[in-house]
A and B are shown apart, each in its own frame.
Chain A
Amino acid sequence: MLNIRWLSFSGFGLLAAVWELVAQVLASPVFPPFSRVLPALWYLAWSGQAWHHTLVSIQHISLGFLWAAISGVSIGIAMTQYRPLALIVTPVVDAVRPVAALTIFPLLILILGVGLWSKTMVIWWTAWPPILLTTVQSVRQVDPFVIEAARLDGAGRRAMLTWIILPLATPGIITGLRIGLGSGWISLVAAEMLGSSAGLGYAILVSSQTFAFPAMYAVIILIALIGLAMNSALAGVQRMVEVQLCVHT
């Protein structure tokens, strides 16, 4: 019988098969078939060459995402509680959001250098707006009747926030975190390619410049896998929270 879990993995198999086929037909050195990339990935993993870059990237994303999560969620909640703040912040966020983090990256390098802080800043810049906006949205979507009922029960602003609004908004806020983490990861890799001395983006750059194309594709796969793992981890947290709150469907 066809298991659902296997079905959801079969897309990867299909992708690999198409890749293999097209690459074999093209037979181009810049597009090696999957069967040659896989050993390269194996080699990178076991020789330890990729570990350093992976750890650097994970360090960047952790720090940047942490800042983005803290600032996004807290400012988002503050915006729903104090309307003037929302009126001030919303236009700024909307104006800043379309400016890609990479456009300010050269400036960041000048100010913060090529190390940890410029990358953290890039991730923060990308991840913060979606987290903020989803937080605001999920707090606003809390059933007004529930809020009114709590108000009639005598709940003050703090009791309302801690007992009613935050629990009900948490699944939505986690969705925002997932979006923020995903987009942060994307811009991190791009930033590492533009100006860095380590990280997975840098590893791609170096391997392509040294014509080590299988290794380059291996790093791309690695980036995809890490992104997938991070997203699944947050999805797991989300599911746990939902089960805890009895709102899991």
Chain B
Amino acid sequence: MVRVTIQGNVRQRGLRWPQAPAKPREPPGGALPRQTNPPERLHGKMSLQYDAAFLYLCVNNVQRSVELETATVDINIQQLSVTYATHNGSIPALHDLSLTARSGEFVAVIGPSGCGKSTLLRAVGGLIPPTSGTITVGGVAPDTARRQRRISFVFQKPVLLPWRTARQNVEVPLQIAGWTRSRRVETAQRILQLVGLEAFADAYPHQLSGGMQQRVALARALVLEPAALLLDEPFSALDELSRERLHVELLRIWELTGATVLFVTHALTEAVFLADRVLVLSSSPGTIVTEIPIKLARPRTLALLEQEDFLDYVILARQALRRGQEEAKALTY
């Protein structure tokens, strides 16, 4: 193994690295997945040195202790293709996409606009049928899982009913499921407490800020205790600071519920900050370019956003994203 001194590199970039070890631990074989390439030419010609440092970071942060006890469901997608039929023929949205999210895993999917991220999520939610390939959620078809209320969705917009208070909005799924009023109120109140809105239970959506509305939407998605949570750019309409706050909230809630999360976004930092694994999609038709395991310790805090290893992952993801786009271009021309 290459022996490295990290200090030289890191200082060059003006970042503080807490006590770089003289002897980095050797990474076990296969610490990085085959597909992942560390950032190239990050520091001019010193790419080899960086590689070793990068491996060190990955290995050193493996000791995350979020082993969720509650076995939930895993999402399994095999060779999924979705094609939309239009007047001028069919448009492929997703092509030959396979992915597996283990029980309780937080998987983020990033990709450029129009790469079929939302299509993927809608297919997993059973809202659109796959053209070919299979999807199973906890071993059953998405449609079945949806009817069993094991899947929940959070959309880009907080889709709340304006004439219902926050609590009544959270109650909607329970009401449809035919719960009694007292049980409904009690459960909704508990979930609102989980998202930190118990004080606003009787406020109407128009009285709440965008971030609060999205938290109500999250509560509504969580109220039936879904095993799989599908989030479609849920925070994209919020300002940076509320978004960051909600990231921490979401992680806290996720760790409490142990749900399997599929989080679609086009924001790199968001994906890296939240996920166990980031899948990078290329555009039209969408397919997975690469997969980046994010081995940052949990619980993650906002301080992480300014840390070196976090930024390295963001760079890694950005390069993968760009590579995917170039490949897609090469295919088009």
Interface residues of A (CB under 8 A from B): 143, 145-146, 148-156, 159, 163-164, 167-168, 244-247
Question: Nearest chain-B residue to A247 (Cβ)?
Answer: B162
Residue pair A159, B176 in contact (C-beta under 8 Å)? yes
Which residues on A sit within 8 Å (CB–CB) of B177? 154
Residue pair A153, B163 in contact (C-beta under 8 Å)? no
Distance to closest chain B CB from A170 (angstroms): 10
Which residues on B sit within 8 Å (CB–CB) of A246? 162-163, 204-206
Residue pair B176, A245 in contact (C-beta under 8 Å)? no
Residue pair A152, B151 in contact (C-beta under 8 Å)? yes
Question: Nearest chain-B residue to A152 (Cβ)?
Answer: B153
Which residues on B sit within 8 Å (CB–CB) of A151? 127
Identify A155's interface contact among B157, B176, B224, CB under 8 A. B176
Q: Does B146 contact A (CB under 8 A)?
A: yes
Which residues on A sit within 8 Å (CB–CB) of B147? 154
Q: State in angstroms the CA–CA spacing of A168 and B155 once bound together.
A: 19
Which residues on B sit within 8 Å (CB–CB) of A167? 161, 163
Q: Does B172 contact A (CB under 8 A)?
A: yes
Which residues on B sit within 8 Å (CB–CB) of A168? 161
Q: How many residues of B contact A (CB 8 A)?
A: 26
Q: State in angstroms the CA–CA spacing of A247 and B162 once bound together.
A: 7
Distance to closest chain B CB from A242 (angstroms): 10
Which residues on A sit within 8 Å (CB–CB) of B173? 153-154
Which residues on B sit within 8 Å (CB–CB) of A148? 127, 153, 155, 159
**A149, A151, A152, A163 pick with most chain B CB within 10 angstroms:** A152
Which residues on A sit within 8 Å (CB–CB) of B161? 146, 163-164, 167-168
Question: Nearest chain-B residue to A167 (Cβ)?
Answer: B163
Question: Nearest chain-B residue to A156 (Cβ)?
Answer: B176
Distance to closest chain A CB from B221 (angstroms): 8
Distance to closest chain B CB from A244 (angstroms): 7
Q: Does B152 contact A (CB under 8 A)?
A: yes
Assuming the A-B contacts A154-B149, A246-B204, are A149 and B159 also in contact, with contact meaning beta carbons closer than 8 angstroms in the complex? yes
Q: Does B125 contact A (CB under 8 A)?
A: yes
Q: State in angstroms the CA–CA spacing of A145 and B21 once bound together.
A: 51
Distance to closest chain A CB from B226 (angstroms): 10
Which residues on B sit within 8 Å (CB–CB) of A146? 159, 161
Which residues on A sit within 8 Å (CB–CB) of B217? 149
Q: State in angstroms the CA–CA spacing of A244 and B204 once bound together.
A: 12
Assuming the A-B contacts A150-B172, A152-B153, A153-B173, are A143 and B159 also in contact, with contact meaning beta carbons closer than 8 angstroms in the complex? yes
Q: State in angstroms the CA–CA spacing of A91 and B162 once bound together.
A: 35
Q: State in angstroms the CA–CA spacing of A206 and B206 once bound together.
A: 56
Question: Nearest chain-A residue to B162 (Cβ)?
Answer: A246
Which residues on A sit within 8 Å (CB–CB) of B206? 246
Which residues on A sit within 8 Å (CB–CB) of B162? 245-247
Q: State in angstroms the CA–CA spacing of A164 and B159 once bound together.
A: 11
Question: Nearest chain-A residue to B175 (Cβ)?
Answer: A163
Which residues on B sit within 8 Å (CB–CB) of A244? 163
Q: State in angstroms the CA–CA spacing of A154 and B147 once bound together.
A: 6
Distance to closest chain A CB from B24 (angstroms): 47
Distance to closest chain A CB from B30 (angstroms): 38
Question: Nearest chain-A residue to B163 (Cβ)?
Answer: A245
Which residues on B sit within 8 Å (CB–CB) of A152? 125, 127, 146, 151-153
**A143, A151, A153, A164 pick with most chain B CB within 10 angstroms:** A153
Which residues on A sit within 8 Å (CB–CB) of B163? 167, 244-247
Q: State in angstroms the CA–CA spacing of A244 and B159 once bound together.
A: 18
Which residues on B sit within 8 Å (CB–CB) of A156? 176
Q: State in angstroms the CA–CA spacing of A146 and B162 once bound together.
A: 11
